[in-house]
């Protein structure tokens, strides 16, 4: 099972995990990202490149499935306006054993952060600013290039 969804509405991590649980795998791993309220940020606006987003996430899932023996992978990313504490992103993987499920899950979120065309704009008391890419994210993504 390979699922990629880009959507403005919220998702239910429990329902997504239940789908992965139903695949008969021995291991299910997941990551859920939430809007942080750093420095008084009260909401985020997620912009994306509609023609490219879905396909770039599908390619990441294909790469993960080629690298690890996965029975299932789910990637969901929200777009539009999100309030503090809301869910932004979900990555879930299912495999026979924990190492593949955990590694593939980490790979997908690390790669998504540096290669999928999304941009975060933060709003703080009525003023907006674009979020800067973090060097740590590039390092986390690059570690998967090593063998």
Q: Which residues are near other proteins by CB under 8 A?
A: 33, 46-49, 51-52, 55-56, 77, 88-89, 109, 112-121, 130-133, 137
Torsion of CA 46, 52, 57, 60, to 10 degrees: -130
Which residue number, 20 or 88, has a Cβ lying nearer to other proteins?
88
Taking the complex as a whole, the smallest distance from the CB of residue 13 to other proteins amounts, in Å, to: 15
* CB closer to other proteins, 60 vs 71: 60
- CB closer to other proteins out of 38 and 47: 47
In eight-state DSSP terms, residue 9 is S
Pick the closer one to other proteins by CB: 82 or 94: 82
Instruction: Report in angstroms how near the CB of residue 101 gets to other proteins at its nearest.
Output: 19
- Rounded Cα distance between 133 and 143, Å, is 17
Report the nearest approach of other proteins to the CB of residue 83 (Å): 17
CB of 118 to other proteins, least distance (A): 3
Q: Which is nearer to other proteins, 25 or 104 (CB)?
A: 104
Burial of 15 (0-12, 13-18, 19+ CB in 10 A): exposed
For every residue of 36-99, DSSP letters joined together read --GGG--EEEEEE-HHHHHHHHHHHHHHHHHHS-EEEEEEEEE-EEEETT-EEEEEEEEESSHH
CA distance 66 to 35: 31
CB of 132 to other proteins, least distance (A): 7
């Amino acid at each position: 099972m390979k699922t990629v969804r880009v959507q403005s509405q919220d998702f239910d991590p429990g329902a997504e995990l239940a789908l992965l649980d139903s695949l008969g795998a021995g291991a299910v791993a997941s990551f859920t990202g939430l809007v942080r309220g750093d420095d008084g940020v009260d909401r985020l606006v997620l912009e994306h490149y509609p023609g490219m987003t879905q396909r770039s996430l599908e390619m990441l899932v294909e790469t993960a499935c080629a690298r690890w023996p996965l029975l299932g992978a789910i990637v969901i990313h929200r777009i539009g306006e999100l309030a503090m504490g809301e869910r932004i992103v979900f990555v879930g993987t299912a495999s026979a054993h924990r190492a593949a499920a955990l590694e593939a899950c980490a790979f997908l979120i690390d790669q998504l952060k540096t290669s999928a065309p999304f941009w975060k704009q933060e709003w703080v008391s009525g003023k907006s600013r674009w979020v800067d890419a973090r060097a740590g994210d590039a390092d986390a993504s690059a570690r998967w290039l090593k063998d």
